Structure 1
């Protein structure tokens, strides 16, 4: 285990740093930086996400600091999503875009209190990236929310730090820095993030300044000798992690009887999704959807909204279980929601059958089901 370097007190843990990116910069080679996370990474709260978000400001800083360098930046932030979906969409939204030199990962706000699931997601991202793109540097970022602003070690950040420590990845703790400054009377967080989560332009600028301080020392020629050990030579923290997580097109289904191909119109309200909305739709209780994969887990990426109902699934021929994913956001707009159907101890053939129940939440306008993608690991 390499010696840890702490700077800015406990706000940054450098570990092995960003050696591959430093090598690329030293050699004047093109550099691609990807940002994987939730709405804060996507740029929510900023007046113009591609100009004033911490993500955009970080890109601007890098381009200005290395003025003769060719950079490419990938926005892989999807609002309201956690590291479970992050691991499953890593190939489609990041690794499938060509060579990636530096990957920032931000999910500490959106991951919930399920420790094992959080590790499965974050470790899955790391191991999948190391397997498919071993030269990519990875850096974890921890953003601020009420649950992450405490003097103790907040749960979600502590869990992510387990993964960062295990794989010797650098981490930058925005939340701890914000907490320290609020305790010192230097700021009021709600002035920078009125809803407690999404920074305004000043909040995004503050995040960008925290990251910039780390990058000032991390991206230097002295770091180029710290070649990363392959994550695959390190035993996993969680055997059922999502290292092989991926998205499949719904056309890979065995049966889609009673479903029709649909796409949202420009008039349909949509949130947290900048990608294609082509999906399978049904509101018929006679409709049946089934698919088979080989892996350790299986699930669906659904498009839930004002007319979504309660569906049920059967796993490997077992009894049907009802799922109601309708929540307070559904009446406002369509958005992606994942439904996971259990994690198995070993890889095996997994078959799922899905149908609607004809029942709905009292706030819903319908009983429909919309399938965007299939999930498997």
Structure 2
């Protein structure tokens, strides 16, 4: 739970959203003049920081030369495209990718590629676990541009920004030196975590685009005072933009691209060797799941011997269909003679994140977790009450050690279901 200390008229306590992604298009008809001075002025306010431009100009130059360029987006439900319809063609991510191609690609056939990795209701604590799989595609993809959007999801980041900065550094440190852009979306109540997260961008002089800075001030003005778009036009619901809202987000990124293209090259690249602002403890997080788990750790799945197929779905890349999240999981159904056998895993690590499945099904129950024989916490998959990937921090130590983790059902929940989706670990 965090308090916003921004310019929205006082502190407002707000909890991150806990609702599934919705995609119906708003019925409010836009009456926006996209060529007007007012609209362009609104978009220009989104440029929080031009940032060091070496990497973004390099990606633009590659596109102009007809070379392959990969644009990657990682974030929550806004990046997934929630509120837009059709979700695969009207999301800000797809529209930004189309804008970049139109602006810079040598021809329509130029190889500019889209990686879209937004998963609804999830913070950077899960994003850092997903990055290698969903953005780098297990080392088969090297993005030239990475856009990170967690400004409305990270209230539930238990590391208070450490995972966010770690994710930024993980992207920046890639061998091909991609451009990293921080994007700050906003909720209908004018809230986001920009005050905390933008500090990371200033620290590394990253390009930053703030939808909050673009739209919030004018929401509270009359047309005569400079209002361009209403909240009803911008928001599909209290969390997600309409098609028009997604367009404004894409136009804001396009403005950054244009300003960067017209600017002189900066002399030096980012300094990523400096001490981190919040922390870099999770830069080297790796995913452990049922697919690779036995190669990394000693696992006794106990009664968690099934595979859950009723999973959170997300429309990845330019697909109009959902991709199941964390399909290589361990599930217990609470049935049979061995129903009470716990899940046990032993591995060398210093940091460990559990990813488990939230559910609205009352068949799911609370589990309790012990590390090295000591009770650590209980986790309740009914807390969120919809099918959702939930990351929770189990271990955060300075030194690597051999650790044993045991997961079993809490008292009174012995015959309930529970799904372990995977783990993120640092060794």
TM-score by length of 2: 0.76
Pairs aligned (count): 353
Preserved CA contact (<8 Å) 1:26 1:221: no
CA distance in 1, matches of 2:92, 2:249: 6
CA distance in 2, matches of 1:172, 1:90: 21
SS, match of residue 323 in structure 2: coil
Q: Which residue of 2 aligns with 1:348?
A: 401
CA distance in 2, matches of 1:348, 1:26: 49
SS, match of residue 350 in structure 1: strand
Match among 120, 123, 127 for residue 86 of structure 1: 127
CA distance in 2, matches of 1:27, 1:170: 23
Preserved CA contact (<8 Å) 1:247 1:374: yes
Q: Which residue of 2 aligns with 1:111?
A: 154
Q: Which residue of 1 aligns with 2:425?
A: 376
Preserved CA contact (<8 Å) 1:310 1:322: yes
* Residues 161-219 of structure 1: per-residue CA shift (max 9 Å, x gap): 11111111110001121102212332221332132211111111121112111111123
Say whether residues 1:242 and 2:282 are aligned partners: yes
Preserved CA contact (<8 Å) 1:58 1:211: yes
Preserved CA contact (<8 Å) 1:119 1:241: no
* Residues 229-279 of structure 1: per-residue CA shift (max 9 Å, x gap): 352x11122345311122112333521112223242xxx574457235342
Moved over 6 A (4+): none
Q: Which has the higher helix share?
A: 1
SS, match of residue 301 in structure 2: strand
Q: Which residue of 2 aligns with 1:286?
A: 340
Q: Cα–Cα, structure 1 residues 97 and 197, in superposed 2: closer, same or farther, change >3 Å?
A: farther
Q: Which residue of 2 aligns with 1:297?
A: 351
CA distance in 1, matches of 2:66, 2:421: 41
SS, match of residue 306 in structure 2: strand
CA distance in 1, matches of 2:181, 2:384: 33
CA distance in 1, matches of 2:346, 2:57: 41
Q: Which residue of 2 aligns with 1:38?
A: 76
Say whether residues 1:136 and 2:136 are aligned partners: no
Q: Which residue of 1 aligns with 2:324?
A: 275
Q: Cα–Cα, structure 1 residues 226 and 184, in superposed 2: closer, same or farther, change >3 Å?
A: farther
* Residues 39-67 of structure 1: per-residue CA shift (max 9 Å, x gap): 10010111111111111111111122224
Q: Which residue of 1 aligns with 2:141?
A: 98
Say whether residues 1:262 and 2:311 are aligned partners: no
Q: How far has the Cα of 1:22 moved from its partner?
A: 3.1
Preserved CA contact (<8 Å) 1:49 1:56: no
Which aligned pairs between 1:56-205 and structure 2 lie closer than 5 A? 56-67=94-105, 68=107, 69-95=110-136, 96-112=139-155, 117-146=159-188, 149=190, 156-185=193-222, 186=227, 187-205=229-247
Q: How far has the Cα of 1:8 moved from its partner?
A: 3.2
In structure 1, the gaps of 5 or more residues are 1-6, 361-365
CA distance in 2, matches of 1:126, 1:281: 32
TM-score by length of 1: 0.85
SS, match of residue 112 in structure 1: helix
Preserved CA contact (<8 Å) 1:247 1:373: yes
Q: How far has the Cα of 1:297 moved from its partner?
A: 1.6
Preserved CA contact (<8 Å) 2:358 2:390: yes
Q: What RMSD in Å do the two structures reach over aligned CA positions? A: 2.5
CA distance in 1, matches of 2:324, 2:156: 28
Match among 233, 252, 277 for residue 210 of structure 1: 252
Preserved CA contact (<8 Å) 1:87 1:121: yes
SS, match of residue 260 in structure 1: coil
